[in-house]
């Protein structure tokens, strides 16, 4: 396996050493093949919002598996999950399930171009929308972590229509619209960034983006693969009160199984085959196992107090780490929204990818390795968000903060 992994973000290239191979997970904890135990803040990169290997999810999966793992034809579970997604997410009137966030973003980009008859798109520096060719321009996530060139192996023609701007910079977006009048199909963005570390939008940034797209006849696409059902039950768009035209989802709606989805206004979604001319297909899309895990996860998230609990424990975690950093003399900043968080070894504030790159990467390496020895597992990169779950206990948070203070006092 190239680099010893099947996804670059799992590698330890930026933090040193070899990636840890896990053997099992349960709740908020993981155990590696050597028997070491960790409090986990990666959460399978976001899906494990109710905790790993939840008993109710596993039981439902076992029952579904008795009927088969893939039908190659429609199944009722697809409709059940579709109705749950449509009722929850403000922008979605119709939805198409796929198998990954990358696939969802590929489909939604083709759809936006079909609907508008335009080809150019605007994305933001450090935002990651999967590894499709048009998005590998100033991308975040593993591309940023590993310091890779923008798009090796990608023909220039496939990225010629991709325009970029710094996140949180409205003037830059206005300039792109002015210099490409009538040519921009859509803006795609993470409404809260998770692939340059965790970065929140400035006040009125999303409102301004919404206004600009309407004024210029372009579509607004929220990539909520990370934020969907995590910042609130209706995603970041419900949390911030901004409704896009199209939305991509993943992670949580598969409950830990491979899944993705894109959806939006009916008039746009009816362009998708077989209802319309834009072709997109997938053999395993809407498979019964992923649908089952997603249904069970979303049911749990609807329970009263869910997001209040996530907000409380994540605030305690982040504030505890920031206080520990300042107490031990380190430049550090960070923040959270509900069950998503991040911190940087810089005074901050961090409003975009250039700001994030000012973080002390060498210090992060020392911190990361120290936390591993303390039994705490963060993403092996300064440029990835962290995730909490309903399974994280107050004791988990207390242990993590105490470990952080211990490590920070020694580096």
- Retrieve residue 48's tokens: 């494990």
| 204 labelled catalytic | no
> Buried b vs exposed e over 148-161: b needs ≥16 C-beta within 10 Å?
eeebeebeeeebeb
Q: Please say whether the beta carbons of 260 and 129 come within 8 A.
A: no
Please, where are the H alpha helices in 133-185? 142-145, 156-159, 170-179
| 279 labelled catalytic | no
* Paired sense of beta strands 37-40 and 29-32, if any: antiparallel
- The Cα 377–Cα 328 span in angstroms is 21
Mean pLDDT over 303-314 rounds to: 98
Phi, psi of 164 (to 5 degrees): -125, 150
Number of residues that make up the chain:
411
Q: Looking at per-residue confidence, does 119 or 156 come out higher? A: 119
pLDDT tens for each residue of 5-51? 888 888 898 898 889 999 999 999 999 999 999 999 999 999 999 99
Choose the catalytic residue: 38, 128, 262, 377.
Answer: 128
The pLDDT value recorded for residue 11 is 87
261 CB burial (10 A radius; 0-12, 13-18, 19+)? buried
The pLDDT value recorded for residue 150 is 66
Choose the catalytic residue: 138, 251, 355, 368.
Answer: 251
pLDDT tens for each residue of 47-103? 999 999 999 999 999 999 999 999 999 999 999 999 999 999 999 999 999 999 999
Choose the catalytic residue: 40, 223, 245, 396.
Answer: 223
- Domain with residues 55-302, CATH architecture: 3-Layer(aba) Sandwich (3.40)
- The Cα 390–Cα 378 span in angstroms is 17
- The Cα 171–Cα 161 span in angstroms is 20
The pLDDT value recorded for residue 117 is 97
Q: Which of 18-22, 143-147, 206-210, 334-338 has the lowest mean pLDDT?
A: 143-147
Domains 2-53+304-409 and 55-302 share a fold: no
Helix, strand, coil percent values for the chain (each to nearest 5):
40, 15, 45
DSSP state of 138: S
pTM for the model stands at 0.94
Report the SS3 class of residue 199: strand
Task: With both helix axes pointing from N to C terminus, report the angle between 361-373 and 394-408 in degrees, rounded to the nearest 10.
Answer: 120
Please, where are the H alpha helices in 161-201? 170-179
| 233 labelled catalytic | no
Residue in the block written with tokens 């009816």: 270
pLDDT tens for each residue of 358-410? 999 999 999 999 999 999 999 999 899 999 999 999 999 999 999 999 999 99
Domain regions of the chain by residue span: 2-53+304-409, 55-302
User: Measured in Å, how far apart are the chain's first and last C-alpha atoms?
Assistant: 33
For the chain, how many helices (H) and strands (E)? 14, 14
Sorted by sequence, the CB contacts under 8 Å of residue 176 that are 6+ apart come out as: 122, 163, 165, 184
CATH T-level assignment (fold) for domain 2-53+304-409: 3.90.1150
- Retrieve residue 228's tokens: 């969907």
133 CB burial (10 A radius; 0-12, 13-18, 19+)? middle
Q: How far is CA 108 from CA 69, 97, 102, 104, 161, in A?
A: 27, 11, 10, 6, 15
The pLDDT value recorded for residue 9 is 86
What is the share, in percent, of the chain residues with pLDDT greater than 70? 97
What average pLDDT does the chain have?
Answer: 94
């Amino acid at each position: 396996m190239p680099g010893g992994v099947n996804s670059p973000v799992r590698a330890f290239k930026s933090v040193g050493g070899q990636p840890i191979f896990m053997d099992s997970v349960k709740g908020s904890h993981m155990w590696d093949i050597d028997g070491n135990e960790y409090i986990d803040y990666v959460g399978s990169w976001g899906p494990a919002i109710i905790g790993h290997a939840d008993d109710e999810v596993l039981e439902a999966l076992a029952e579904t598996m008795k009927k088969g793992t893939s039908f190659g034809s429609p199944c009722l579970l697809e409709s059940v999950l579709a109705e749950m997604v449509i009722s929850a997410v403000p922008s979605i009137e119709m939805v198409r399930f796929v198998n990954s966030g990358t696939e969802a973003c590929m489909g939604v980009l083709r759809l936006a171009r079909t609907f508008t008859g335009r080809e150019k798109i605007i994305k933001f520096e450090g935002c990651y929308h999967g590894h499709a060719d048009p998005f590998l321009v100033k991308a975040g996530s593993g591309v940023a972590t590993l310091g890779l060139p923008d798009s090796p192996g990608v023909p220039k023609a496939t990225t010629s229509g991709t325009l970029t701007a710094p996140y949180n910079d409205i003037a830059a977006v206005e300039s792109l619209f002015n210099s490409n009048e009538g040519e921009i199909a859509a803006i795609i963005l993470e409404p809260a960034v998770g692939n340059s570390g965790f970065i929140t939008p400035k006040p009125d940034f999303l409102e301004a983006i919404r206004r600009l797209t309407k004024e210029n006849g372009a579509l607004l696409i929220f990539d909520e693969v990370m934020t969907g059902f995590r910042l609130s039950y209706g995603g970041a768009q419900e949390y911030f009160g901004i409704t896009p035209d199209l939305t991509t989802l993943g992670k949580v709606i598969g409950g830990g199984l491979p899944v993705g989805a894109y959806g939006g206004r009916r008039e746009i979604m009816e362009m998708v085959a077989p209802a319309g001319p834009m072709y997109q297909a997938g053999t395993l899309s809407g498979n019964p196992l992923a649908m089952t895990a997603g249904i069970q996860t979303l049911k749990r998230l609807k329970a009263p107090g869910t997001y209040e609990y996530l907000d409380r424990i994540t605030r305690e975690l982040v504030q505890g780490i920031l206080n520990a950093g300042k107490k031990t003399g380190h430049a550090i900043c960070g923040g959270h929204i509900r069950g998503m968080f991040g911190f940087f070894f810089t005074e901050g504030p961090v409003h975009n990818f250039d700001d994030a790159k000012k973080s002390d990467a060498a210090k992060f390496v020392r911190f990361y390795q120290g936390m591993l020895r303390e039994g705490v597992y963060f993403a092996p990169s300064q440029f990835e968000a962290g995730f909490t779950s309903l399974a994280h206990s107050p004791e988990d948070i207390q242990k993590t903060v105490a470990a952080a203070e211990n490590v920070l006092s020694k580096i």
